[in-house]
Chains A and B, each alone.
Chain A
Amino acid sequence: MTENGAERRPLLELRELSVAFGGLKVIDGLDLHVDEHEIVSVIGPNGAGKTTVFNLITGVFEPDSGDILLDGESLIGLAAHKITQRGVARTFQTLRLFLNMTVKENVMAAQYGRTKATLLEQMLRLPRARREERRMNEVAEEKLGFFGERLMGYRWNQPAYSLSYANRRRLEIARATATQPRILLLDEPAAGMNPVETHEITELIGKLRDEGGYTILLIEHDMHVVEGISDRVVALDHGVKISEGTFDSVATDPRVVEAYLGTSAAVTK
């Protein structure tokens, strides 16, 4: 299946991916690829299947047919936590933080897959457990430091539920990066944010790629965010890819306009 001979292999590749829920084809023969260090945005009206794509990639659902390759290796059939350990991390459209754990604990918990001390070693505080614990602490502080002052200092020991909405979104991103992924799947990172925060998160996503070195697949409704950072934009409607290319070409594609606004709007345009 893999084409090792290809000059530049995409980091993440979806091939002919299809899934149906009780006869309703939610994703229908979707091809998608994300290259290393690329930021790809997925847009589409509500119900187009964007979040389902994320759920398929991260192993929440299994596809009916098609293949998902990470760096040439198939992710199909792997348990969700194995997929995360291979290097795919995501955030959630509806936030799913560990609300009653502290900010730092949230980020440290996500490093479970990157540590190896057994329960017995932890119970006896053996050297490896202590070393890993110190390391997790350092990584957590580093990841939280990515957001400037926002998640630093006194906030470390506060429960996640005490954070503001925007800070919760930041914490979700910090938690995802703590799994040490190769590709980050961000599900509407700007949802529910005010214009200033939206601008900030846009810059942050760019910084994640440039400084953090992550490859990013993004779902976003806010076209300012999509326009500002995307290398490539993919438009979905009813589970089918209707357009792909630069932001300008996709935004002016009649099929995309039709999907968002209906046929008459597309014709008058």
Chain B
Amino acid sequence: MSAEVPTPSGPQIGADEWVARSNERILGPRGPFGAVVRAIDRTPRIIILAVFVGFVAAIPFMTSNGYIQGVATDTMLYILLAMGLNVAVGWAGLLDLGYVAFYGFAAYMFAALSGGHLFTGGVLLTDWPTPAAVAVAIVATIFLGFVLALPTRRLRGDYLAIVTLFFLEIFNNFTNNGDRWDWLGLGGTHDVTGGTTGIIDVHPWRIGGTELTNYSRDYMWVALGGFTVLAVALMYANKSRTGRAWRALREDPLAAELMGMPVKWLMLLAVAVGAGVAGFAGSIIGAYHQQVSPDEFTFVLLITVYAMVILGGAGSLGGVVVGAIIVNVLLEVLNRPDHARWVFYAAVLIGLIVKVRPWRLLVAVLGGLVAFGVIVNQIVGAVWPRGVDGPIAVGPTAFTKQGFFAGAIRHWLVLPAHTYTIPHYTIGNYAFVIVLGLVLALTLVKGWKRWVLLVPMIWGAAFVWENLLIEQAPTVRPLMLGVILIVLMTTRPAGLFGQQRVEIV
């Protein structure tokens, strides 16, 4: 309607040069990591996607190791889940804590349609062809997304979080107790979900007459294929009117509504699209594990997927993929003592190198650490010989007890022998409390005292690690994940690839 459109011109000296170059001053990634991010930014998204898909698809040809293929399959499923959650959380800004229920619902739905056994012995009679079962499971999950979002469409923020969390709890209760479903007291109880054991012997996918029974390889390819399609579709959605409307809704729901965007409908749509992605992942997991059990779809899984989205950068499609890979691979590594040990010592060393400046101080701290450990080891050895006689914890693939690294740990740390009079884990428990006290003390003192205190603290942490935590993967995994998230949130609040957001200016 305006008469003429002035031709856009670049920045000129004296003409708002400051504003023109504001992009360079945005709080963006810096340093070597920043260089990587910028290089990735310049590459077209479709090429990155092609390289990633090509690499993952080739994993089964590179290794026949079933464990690695299994980790790859799990990671692909986590990527799908993180991508779906990102739609509601990252794009539309809705704190949806019921998300995992969609995943579980689809898994049950697929198992019920594709066929399997309830643990109580009842045979699920249905034996649908895979495409039909998957399609119906996904559509039903999307529908469930709409239904659950309907009563919450007026809620936002904390309120939405509380209500959706209850949906997840209801779902868990339903699946756990669904084996004695009582139709309003008419005609006894029925088994609907298989109760705490769920559905077993879930039929594998059948595509074109072949059954997919090379589980970790086949379902990785299935998940990867779905991922490719969904990643492109979501990438396009994000760049179109709906994606923009979701982001507008995240920024300011009232302004979005007053600019002609149907906010409530957009909320329903965001939850439903996320549910659809989770629905696809759900119809893989049952066939892949040959079983659907209710304890898979709990709050723990929800937090794990959230950690992936937040760590990668909520709102960034590539970011949440990277987040899912990092978190899942890390959790796998922490599962085995011989691998977890490397993560622990590497993390301590990298943390020291990054944080301790100048280098003279770093050398002093490292030297102090070595000296402190050796001296303590000698003293304990002289006073109580059995105190340094303990075995070193090893994983499934034996971490050699005679190797240099093992020897170093033996002469640096104190590993008490495993006896019944004073169990080594009791000592580890007490040491754990002392280390926590040292951490607190460290935050209270300043200056040189902090560096002096740092040495016994790190040594104590290593002591606790070798004597207590390394053998307790279920405790260590959330602990390490929590530490990583805390460190990341203080250094990069928007996640690895997330755009730094400005709330009030």
* A pairs with B: yes
Contacts A96-B255, A109-B244, A122-B237 known; A79 to B6 CB distance under 8 Å?
no
B9 at the interface (CB under 8 A from A): yes
**Does A154 lie within 8 Å of B8, measured CB to CB?**
yes
- Contact B258 A81, beta carbon cutoff 8 Å: yes
Minimum C-beta distance from A6 to chain B (A): 28
A79 and B262 contact, CB distance less than 8 A: yes
Indicate whether A152 reaches chain B with its CB closer than 8 angstroms: yes
Q: B236 contacts A123, CB within 8 Å?
A: yes
With a CB–CB cut-off of 8 A, which chain B residues contact A79? Answer: 257, 262
Q: Which of A51-94 contact B (CB under 8 A)?
A: 58-60, 79-81, 84-85, 89-90, 92
Q: Is the CB of B260 within 8 A of A136?
A: no
Determine the chain A residues whose CB is within 8 A of the CB of B19 once the complex forms.
155, 158, 162-164
**Residue from A99, A112, A125 in contact with B502 in the complex, judged by beta carbons closer than 8 Å:** A99
B233: Cβ under 8 A from any A Cβ: yes
Cα A176 to Cα B8 in complex, Å, equals 22
* Interface membership of chain B positions 349-364, coded 1 if the CB is closer than 8 angstroms to chain A and 0 otherwise: 0000000000000000
How far apart sit A176 and B114, CA to CA, in the bound complex (Å)? 52
- Comparing A13-21, A34-42, A141-149, A230-238, the segment that makes contact with chain B is A141-149
A229 interface residue, CB < 8 Å from B? no
Min C-beta distance of B44 to chain A, whole Å: 15
- Cα-based distance from A132 to B498 in the complex (angstroms): 28
Which residues of B sit under 8 angstroms from A175, Cβ to Cβ?
259
Is B256 in contact with chain A by the CB < 8 A criterion? yes
Can you list, as one digit per residue, whether each of A188-206 has a CB less than 8 Å from chain B (1) or not (0)? 0000000000000000000
Residues of B within 8 A of A148 (CB): 6
B23 at the interface (CB under 8 A from A): yes
Give the number of residues in A that approach B within 8 Å (Cβ atoms): 61
- The residues of A that contact B255 with a CB separation of less than 8 Å are 92, 96-98
> Is residue B225 contacting chain A, with contact meaning CB distance below 8 A?
no
Chain B min CB distance to A136 (Å): 7
Residue A257, interface by CB 8 Å: no
Q: Is B3 part of the contact surface with A, judged by Cβ < 8 Å?
A: yes
* Distance between Cα atoms of A132 and B242 in the complex (Å): 12
Binds A, one of B187-195, B245-253, B372-380: B245-253
The answer to whether B233 touches A124, judged by C-beta atoms less than 8 angstroms apart, is: yes
Residue contact B236 to A99, C-beta cutoff 8 Å: no
Chain B residues contacting A108 (CB-CB under 8 Å) are: 241, 244
Structural contact, A142 and B1, CB atoms closer than 8 A? yes
Q: Does A153 contact B (CB under 8 A)?
A: yes
Name A96's contact: one of B23, B234, B241, B252 (CB within 8 Å). Answer: B252
Contacting chain B: which of A113-121, A248-256, A259-267? A113-121
- CB proximity of A93 to chain B, nearest CB, Å: 12
Kindly state whether residue A101 has any CB partner on chain B within 8 Å: yes
Cβ < 8 Å to A, chain B residues 1-57 = 1-6, 8-11, 19-20, 22-23, 26
Closest B residue, CB atoms, query A54: B258
Residue in A60, A155, A156 whose CB lies within 8 Å of B258 = A60
Q: Which residues of A contact B248 (CB under 8 A)?
A: 98, 101, 109
B260 pairs with A179, CB closer than 8 A: yes
Q: Is B58 an interface residue (CB 8 A)?
A: no
Q: How far is the CB of A92 from chain B (nearest CB, A)?
A: 7
With both chains docked as a complex, state the minimum distance between the C-beta of A125 and any C-beta of chain B, in angstroms: 5
Checking B20, B233, B251, B499 against A154 with a beta-carbon cut-off of 8 angstroms, the contacting residue is: B20
* B394-411 at interface with A (beta carbon < 8 Å): none
Q: Is B202 an interface residue when CB atoms closer than 8 A count as contact?
A: no
Closest to A144 in B: B5
How far is the CB of B115 from the nearest CB of chain A, in Å? 30
Residues of B within 8 A of A101 (CB): 244, 247-248, 251
Q: State A161–B23 Cα separation when bound (angstroms).
A: 11
Is there a chain B Cβ closer than 8 Å to A7's Cβ? no
Contacts of A58 in B (CB 8 A): 258
Candidate in B11, B22, B244, B254 with the most chain A CB atoms within 10 angstroms: B244
> What mask results when residues 252 to 295 of chain B are scored 1 for a CB within 8 Å of chain A, else 0?
10111111111100000100010000000000000000000000
In whole Å, how far is B20's beta carbon from the nearest beta carbon of chain A?
A: 5
Nearest chain B CB to A122 CB, angstrom units: 4
B501 contacts chain A at the CB level, 8 A cutoff: yes
Chain B residues, Cβ within 8 Å of A105: 244, 247
Q: Residue-by-residue, is B219-242 near A (CB-CB < 8 Å gives 1, otherwise 0)?
A: 000000000000001101100111
B505 contacts partner chain A, Cβ-Cβ < 8 Å: yes
Interface of chain A residues 133 through 192 with chain B (CB within 8 A): 133, 136, 141-143, 145-146, 148-149, 152-159, 161-164, 175-176, 179
Q: Are B9 and A158 in contact (CB under 8 A)?
A: no
Q: Is the CB of A84 within 8 A of B259?
A: yes
Tell me the bound Cα distance from A18 to B78 in angstroms: 55
**Which of B22, B261, B499 has the most CB atoms of chain A within a 10 A radius of its CB?**
B261
CB closest residue in chain B, given A156:
B8
* Interface assignment of A212: CB less than 8 Å from any CB of chain B: yes
| Chain B: CB-nearest residue to A177 | B1
A115 engages B502 (CB within 8 Å): no
Task: List chain A residues, Cβ under 8 A from B8.
Answer: 152-154, 156
Nearest-CB residue, chain B, relative to A132? B241
A81 & B1 in contact (Cβ 8 Å cutoff)? no
Q: Are B258 and A84 in contact (CB under 8 A)?
A: yes
A100 touches B244 (CB 8 A): no
Rounded to whole Å, the gap between the CB of B230 and the closest CB of chain A is 9
A119 proximity list for chain B (CB < 8 A): 237, 242, 269, 273
Of the candidates B23, B237, B244, B273, which one forms a contact with A112 in the assembled complex, judged by CB atoms under 8 Å apart?
B244
Q: Are B273 and A211 in contact (CB under 8 A)?
A: no
Q: Is A215 an interface residue (CB 8 A)?
A: no
The reply to whether B499 and A100 contact each other, CB–CB distance below 8 Å, is yes
In the assembly, what is the distance between CA of A96 and CA of B259, in Å? 11
Selected A-B contacts with CB under 8 Å, 23 pairs: A80-B258, A81-B259, A81-B261, A90-B258, A98-B251, A99-B251, A100-B247, A101-B247, A109-B248, A109-B256, A109-B259, A111-B241, A123-B233, A124-B236, A129-B240, A133-B241, A136-B241, A146-B2, A149-B6, A155-B19, A158-B22, A159-B502, A212-B2
Sample of 11 more A-B contacts, CB < 8 Å, known A123-B233, A162-B22: A59-B258, A85-B260, A96-B255, A100-B251, A110-B260, A111-B241, A111-B260, A123-B234, A148-B6, A158-B23, A212-B1
Closest 10 A-B residue pairs measured CB to CB? Answer: A113-B260, A153-B8, A122-B240, A123-B233, A145-B5, A84-B260, A96-B255, A98-B251, A110-B259, A109-B244
What is A's interface to B at a CB cutoff of 8 Å? 58-60, 79-81, 84-85, 89-90, 92, 96-101, 105, 108-115, 117, 119, 122-125, 129, 132-133, 136, 141-143, 145-146, 148-149, 152-159, 161-164, 175-176, 179, 211-213
